[in-house]
Structure 1
């Protein structure tokens, strides 16, 4: 097959203990999926899960232990961090039952849903899509993916984010409003999931702004940490 120009390379993420890399197809994100963050953002109760997407090439993978550089994005004066457990889909499907959902997971990673908060808030006020606030270049930093079998206790693991050595976010994965399995169930009703999909599962309370020069360290017990330097 020929193309009118050379296709862009497929975005990929490293895999722990494997020379092969995980090719990214789509990035799904879950909104307000921790009670404390939902309250922080003005919501109450266990509302039905809702989703937004980022482009696959918004992924910014860490390579080894060194901090990956993220450029402070244009148009914003309020860049916020949101630390999240990322679920990497290894087997696709539609209408997947929660009881079967974890069998579709290849592995897990720690990620950051970086957000141009001022632009997102302005879009909310106007009733417009959030894409400009959520789906910009380099908005999805992610650490190396650990195969699911290597982290059997991931669903109760602590999750944390430090900025310049100071704790900003701290919680546990079992505080998710909608579990990973339930999230996959809901997502697969709306889209046919496929191998290569990443699901950013939501962030706990403590989201806040960062500026150029800040160093972020995102951690989930059992997973490779993610270090990001804002430049």
Structure 2
């Protein structure tokens, strides 16, 4: 097989504390509105309605080593940049119409990620009922920590999730506040698409999302999984 030009490099995420092991990224799935507000009761499953899923391209993923800070260029075409700190599930198995138990067994490991969005473009898309791609997708818009194998992480036990901008805590929650658990999210995804090894799933973000500006330094994490640092330049 010959190519007209060199094919793009495979997107990968290093495995935490393993020098020569890498998780190959196939697809990046995300879910919107998957956390209830602090103090809000868990609604009945029938009241949740259909989930809102969207995707980011695999080359949006940027792995960031523990202790390092990723310098993210502030994106063009928008000034209202919003970081959403999320727990990310990394799959080593796939399939269609998975049960929740099968979905949980498909999770090889976990990482922490920022789902960045151009908030002004997203708000305009919502008002127009238009797609979110211009808001949710730009170069290097999804930095993540290295993947922590599931057997070394506390999931699915509840864990604190947080995000600081400078010294100000913007987001504070717990994974127990998810409207749908990661396994439930994955099972629902598998009714829309056939999942495959290498797929990763951003599982939603807690309350407190607010715009950031150039020069801001972000630090977010999920206890037992990892901590992620980003500076906007």
Q: TM range, normalised to the smaller chain?
A: over 0.9
Change in Cα spacing, 1:13 to 1:166, as seen in structure 2 (3 Å) is same
Q: CA separation in 2, counterparts of 1:187 and 1:99?
A: 14
Superposition deviation, residue 91 in structure 1: 1.0
**So what's the TM-score if we normalise by structure 2?**
0.93
Provide Cα deviations, 1:103-158, integer angstroms capped at 9, x if missing partner.
Answer: 10010111111010100111111121000000111111111110011113443000
2:36 is aligned to 35
Q: Secondary structure at the match of 1:51?
A: strand
1:2 is aligned to 2
Confirm or deny: 8 A CA contact 2:66 2:227 kept in the other structure: no
Superposition deviation, residue 101 in structure 1: 1.3
Confirm or deny: 8 A CA contact 2:66 2:228 kept in the other structure: no
Q: Segments of 4+ in structure 1 off by > 3 A?
A: 152-155
Q: Structure 2: 5+ residue runs without aligned partners?
A: 41-46
Q: CA separation in 2, counterparts of 1:138 and 1:156?
A: 29
1:26 is aligned to 27
What RMSD over aligned residues (CA atoms) do the two structures have, in Å?
Answer: 1.4
**What is the aligned residue count?**
225
After superposition, residues 107-126 of structure 1 pair within 5 angstroms as 107-126=109-128
1:17 is aligned to 17
1:166 is aligned to 168
Within the candidate set 92, 95, 99, 2:97 is matched to 95
2:146 is aligned to 144
Q: Structure 1: 5+ residue runs without aligned partners?
A: 40-44
